[in-house]
Structure formats: structure tokens, C-alpha cells
């Protein structure tokens, strides 16, 4: 009974579970970094680093608020629908929501990582049992 390697598939439900758990972990970890930049990172840069640099006598640099205003209003063309004051109000609400979501995603990453490690452990235990029966 000789099987060709390209036709052989040994994917088990445990393999699928591990791949699914790992995919969830990667997506949630990516969203954690996005919310970090949009929330706490943007607030830190806009409210603390930029004023400190100005007080030190350094030239004014772009803030996250300036970059997002340029991206959304100028590049994406949302300026046709809202004015700058509405965008700034929306921007500050997005910062607050992103801070909350960052905390949620940190907890979710911890839970997703534990589940991925558990699925990997189950897979290795199953593989060891299969090796023992051969």
C-alpha cells in the first residue's frame, strides 16, 4: 500500500482547530496593534509628546490628528460630506473608543493565546498516541 505524497492528507479535526485558533490569534493581535495606534498611541503623541517637543524649542512636527485629517479629508475625499470641525469631533470619539477596544483586545489576545496553546498541546498528544500505536 504505497500512497503518493501529494495525494496523502492527514488533516484531522484537531489540526483544523489549531489552524482556526491560530488564525483568530493573529487577527486579534493585529487589531490590538491597530487600536493601540488609533487610541492610546494617538493620544500620547497628540497630547503629550507634541506639546513637550514644542516646549523644548524643537520645530512642530505632524501629529496623528494631522495625519488622519490629511488621509481622510484630502486623500479619501470625505471633505465633501463633513467639515473639519465634525471630523475633529469624530476623531476624538474614535480615540476614546479605540482605547476601550485596546483593553478588550489585550484580554482577548490572552484568551486566544491560551486556546491556541491548548489546541497545539492536544495535537501533539494525539500525534504521540499515534506514534505509540505504530
pLDDT tens digits, one per residue of 29-66: 999 999 999 999 999 988 998 899 889 888 877 788 88
- Residue 11 pLDDT greater than 70, yes or no: no
C-alpha cell at 41: 498611541
pTM: 0.74
C-alpha cell at 92: 476624538
Looking at residue 10, its pLDDT comes to 59
- Residue 112 pLDDT greater than 70, yes or no: yes
- Residue 2 pLDDT greater than 70, yes or no: no
Asked if 98 and 39 count as a contact pair (C-beta separation under 8 A), the reply is yes
Distance CA 46, CA 110 (A): 29
Amino acid at each position: 500500500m504505497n500512497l503518493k505524497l501529494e495525494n496523502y492528507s492527514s488533516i484531522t479535526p484537531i489540526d483544523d482547530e489549531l489552524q482556526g485558533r491560530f488564525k483568530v490569534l493573529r487577527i486579534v493581535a493585529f487589531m490590538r496593534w491597530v487600536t493601540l495606534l488609533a487610541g492610546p498611541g494617538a493620544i500620547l503623541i497628540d497630547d503629550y509628546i507634541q506639546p513637550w517637543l514644542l516646549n523644548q524649542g524643537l520645530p512642530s512636527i505632524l501629529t496623528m490628528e494631522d495625519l488622519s485629517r490629511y488621509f481622510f479629508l484630502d486623500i479619501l475625499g470625505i471633505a465633501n460630506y463633513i467639515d473639519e470641525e465634525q471630523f475633529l469631533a469624530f476623531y476624538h470619539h474614535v480615540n476614546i473608543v479605540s482605547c476601550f477596544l485596546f483593553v478588550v483586545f489585550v484580554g482577548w489576545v490572552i484568551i486566544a493565546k491560551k486556546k491556541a496553546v491548548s489546541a497545539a498541546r492536544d495535537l501533539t498528544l494525539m500525534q504521540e498516541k499515534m506514534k505509540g500505536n505504530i
